[in-house]
Amino acid sequence: MPRSTNSGTITFGLVTIPVKFYTSASAEKVSFNLLSPAGNRVRQQYLDTVTNEEVPGGMQGCDKGYEIEKDKFVHFTKDELKALEAEGEGKSIDIAEFIPEGALDPVAIEKTYFLGPDKSDKAYLLLSEAMTAKKVVAVAQWTFRGKEQLVTIAPYKGGLALFQMYYSNEVRNFSEIEVAARTPISDPERRMAQKLIDSLTSDEFDAAKYEDSYVARVKAAIDTKAGGGTIKAAPVAAVQTGNVLDISALLEQSIAQNRKPKAKRDPKKPGKK
């Protein structure tokens, strides 16, 4: 059973819904330490750039400053920064509005939490069922670690999930991305592209089919080196040069590679006349 990381209360009109937060996912990583050429662990130091002396207490012994021009800072103490933090740490999640579920931009999602009921689950389940029926998600603000977070709450597998969002000024506009000028696309090319999509389409997403092979390789390499073995460098893949096939030919080849074999007819069964 996962342990909750936080608790709070969703306010839905005059209804209050106590909830607990659970981390929805955690990346599997292999952690390494920095070692000196002698094989000893390296210790990080914080040095004064003028005196070149080590700051006592490391990061904890430092205040913070905002650079307004080269080497000129506005200085803030920890107490001054603390005074700027929002009040009501992590308690009330006030729903401001509901939006259609399709209006939620996945690019703006920063982090996901599962929300579980706390104490009573009737109001919790009612909100989840009502949003599912109306096909909407809730928009709210929540104070976490002294900062006001924009969040959305959505029904998820019979319960609720909370998405911590980026504010609009934090999300880059896609129009800033350079896209090549529109080139003519023929109807046969469109049909072949759609046919290739059909050949690669599954009825549902099964994440268990995929795995992070890098983590597996690193763990295997650690076992090999720990046992006194050596690791061989992977060969460098050759870069393909020469004439590039046109997109129609590439689509045809791709469709042929992904074409599913037809089921063999049972010779015992009579064929259609």
Q: What is the CATH number of the domain that holds 142?
A: 2.40.290.10
111-155 pLDDT tens trace: 999 999 998 789 999 999 999 999 999 999 888 777 888 999 999
Query: Is position 181 within any domain?
Result: no
Lowest mean pLDDT: which of 61-70, 76-85, 112-121? 76-85
121: domain range? 6-27+86-170
pLDDT > 90 in the chain, percent: 26
- pLDDT given for residue 102 in this prediction: 92
- Report residue 273's pLDDT band, with 50, 70 and 90 as the boundaries: very low
Tokens in use for 127? 């909100």
* 180, part of any domain: no
Query: Is the whole model's pTM more than 0.75, yes or no?
Result: no
Number of structural domains, the chain? 1
Can you tell me the distance from the alpha carbon of 138 to that of 128, in angstroms, rounded to the nearest whole number? 10
Answer yes or no: is 129 within a domain: yes
| Cα distance between residue 238 and residue 235, in whole Å | 9
With respect to residue 13, please indicate whether it lies within any of the assigned structural domains.
Answer: yes
Q: What is the largest CA-CA distance in the chain?
A: 95
Which residues in 136-231 belong to E strands, given as ranges?
A: 136-144, 147-156, 159-165
Rounded Cα distance between 46 and 35, Å, is 18
Strands (E), the chain: 6-12, 15-23, 64-69, 72-76, 92-100, 109-117, 136-144, 147-156, 159-165
Has residue 38 been placed in a domain? no
Binned at pLDDT 50, 70 and 90, residue 259 comes out as confident
Predicted pLDDT at 164: 93
Is 232 contained in some domain? Answer: no
The whole-number pLDDT of residue 243 equals 46
